[in-house]
A and B are shown apart, each in its own frame.
Chain A
């Protein structure tokens, strides 16, 4: 399996850790950020295959984080993963260039399938 480098941005620490553990079991390299600023700093320094981004972050709202990520690294796909998303949020995120808008709970197999699909896409 290809070694994907993923970034999980979520203030729910236990959820993020657990998801990271599962992805690592599936051969992915995972970084975790618990707030928006940390994530933005990391994205500026490193490059990721995919970012999983929560909307309700303690410091910066997820949509703002999405905008700034897209400003620095437009090619990195961002999947919004939230338990609180409204129809309005969905529209805004899709408009701002999110790859998808998912609700928790997350199906790990579907995530893996999506990763595979992204991997097959021409750069």
Chain B
């Protein structure tokens, strides 16, 4: 199972990543394909991703800025509106008091019935008033209308009384007072005809104010409440302190205008804080309007958007990575394969060149040997002639035998030199139709006995429809004999030899001869067609067999190649034209 996975993995693994063709290394244009691949991927990915990421970051910042400025603007608008409402609430009531003290004479005001009447009318007009009282310049309450009769009480040392004396009007903060109910006091100062002053004081319920504020609260994340200037919470707040408790936020600095700021609360939550110091045109007030918005809640939309952007960018990155890696791998692999085939061609060319130069050398040596051989031949021949033709010697069979030995040796040397020349001049090129099936079985006839004796199985596979080719029968036969001989020498007893023929394109046929014998190491493969190269031990091989075969195949205008793996076997492949191009052939004699 693991083996199968490994095999599947190897089949999709790009070829350049293996880099195992070491003998071809010097012919490659590029040496390190893995590095090129890595650099290629890096450059392409960087080119594609960097702009995307930069734009995403810029987009983030812009979006965040715009969302924040929108939130700020909204908080500011809310704070301004609420401020106007509170100011209006206070101004309205202060105006009513001012009107009352200016319009109605002191004597009538101190009349309890009249005062009750005024209270009723004010309640009707504005609502939210609990009681009315008139306080003389000594601070003593002289008249009262309302539910709590506090007549005769002296307020001369109370802060509101002192403030109101100074500023004519007064708005108190919210406090419990004698009645233990949260309320606001507003007061207006007026003068009696005798020059002494008196105050008309009204108590306002806070319910109405709280209601007014609550109408501005929008959503769960916004909170509007009042504090006084020393930071005591005046109207209920959910998060920032109970009523009459110190607020948990710092008291904002004084400003005439509505202000908005980003801040953090005591729980370290981000908030948008809007505030306004409340001040009516008639009197200053101790209130600060606070608008607090939880940023986390407000930013939810933005966070959803950001998460969508993140997904999109992530998906894009993944797609770019996959596409770039696949494309890069494909291109580099193509490049590698092209380079490899170039390297193989170059190696082959170098091998042919080497063969050609070795051939030339061999031819030169052969030629140089031919002249002395010719002299030996003629001299020995002359001596033999003397023995045979002159009567006094021709009885001496022993001497003639020696001379025949010399002549035989010369002839053998001549044969070797002409083999070395690789021309095979002995055979004239005779082109005829040759059936592959026939010629293969002809060749195997020579080997039947040996195959049976060594129990070597020979499989021949020649399709019926393969056409007969026009070539030199003798040379082809020699080629096949050489290769089959070679294979028989390479295999052990009981091995298998496969001989197959097939079409290779329109005008070519291919013959393969493969064995499952001992094989050859890769380093020796480029050398096996060189003359005098032999892997056989001792003097078993001359080293000329495959060199001659190579020359013969070239003569037949074909190609021969070899593939081999140690312990797995060797395959020779010959590709031949179906019709050999005729060479100029002249009437040629030969002495061999």
Contact = CB atoms under 8 A, between A and B. Distances in A.
Interface of A: 12, 14-15, 18-19, 21-22, 25-26, 79, 83-84, 86-87, 90-91, 94-95, 99-108, 110, 114
Looking at A14, A19, A95, the one whose CB has the most chain B CB atoms below 10 A away is A19
Contact of B589 (A15, A19, A86, A101): A101
B587 A104 contact: no
A107 B379 contact: no
B382 A21 contact: yes
Given A18-B378, A18-B379, A19-B378, A102 B373 contact: no
B382 A104 contact: no
Nearest to A110: B591
B462 to A, nearest CB: 34
B587 to A, nearest CB: 7
B587 A94 contact: yes
A103 B418 contact: yes
B183 to A, nearest CB: 132
Given A14-B375, A18-B375, A83-B374, A102 B385 contact: no
Given A18-B378, A18-B379, A91-B584, A104 B373 contact: yes
25 contacts: A14-B375, A15-B378, A18-B381, A18-B382, A21-B382, A21-B385, A22-B381, A22-B382, A84-B367, A84-B370, A90-B588, A91-B586, A94-B586, A100-B588, A100-B589, A102-B589, A102-B591, A103-B370, A103-B418, A104-B370, A104-B371, A105-B377, A105-B414, A106-B374, A106-B378
Contact of B385 (A22, A103, A104): A22
B590 interface: yes
Nearest to B390: A25
Contacts of B587: 94, 100
A81 B389 CA distance: 25
Of A18, A99, A107, chain B has the most CB atoms within 10 Å of the CB of A18
Nearest to A107: B591
Given A83-B367, A105-B370, A12 B375 contact: yes
A14 B587 CA distance: 30
B592 interface: yes
Contacts of B425: 103
Nearest 10 interchain pairs by C-beta: A83-B370, A104-B374, A100-B589, A105-B377, A18-B378, A94-B586, A105-B374, A83-B371, A84-B367, A102-B591
B30 interface: no
Interface residues of B, number: 31
A102 to B, nearest CB: 5
A50 B346 CA distance: 50
Interface in B90-144: none
Given A22-B381, A83-B371, A106-B377, 16 more contacts: A12-B371, A12-B375, A21-B382, A25-B382, A25-B385, A83-B367, A83-B373, A84-B367, A86-B363, A95-B586, A102-B589, A103-B370, A103-B590, A103-B592, A104-B370, A106-B374
Contact of A22 (B367, B373, B378, B418): B378
Chain B facing A: main interface SS = helix
B513 interface: no
A105 B410 contact: yes
B423 interface: yes
A90 to B, nearest CB: 7
A28 B387 CA distance: 18
A70 B591 CA distance: 23
B414 A25 contact: no
Contacts of B367: 83-84
Interface in B410-448: 410-411, 414, 418, 423, 425
Contacts of A100: 587-589
A113 B379 CA distance: 20
Contacts of A84: 367, 370
Contacts of B411: 105
A95 B584 CA distance: 11
Contacts of A86: 363
A6 to B, nearest CB: 14
Contacts of B386: 25
Contacts of A103: 370, 414, 418, 425, 590-592
A26 B384 CA distance: 13
Nearest to B388: A25
Contacts of B382: 18, 21-22, 25
A84 to B, nearest CB: 5
A90 B374 CA distance: 19
Nearest to B589: A100
A105 B385 contact: no
A107 B323 CA distance: 76
Contacts of A106: 374, 377-378, 591
Interface in B492-520: none
Contacts of B363: 86
B389 A25 contact: yes
A18 to B, nearest CB: 4
A87 B418 CA distance: 12
Contacts of A94: 586-588
A86 B370 CA distance: 13
B411 to A, nearest CB: 8
A44 to B, nearest CB: 27
A70 B523 CA distance: 54
Contacts of B584: 91
A105 B379 CA distance: 11
A100 B589 CA distance: 5
Nearest to B366: A83
Interface string B571-587: 00000000000001011
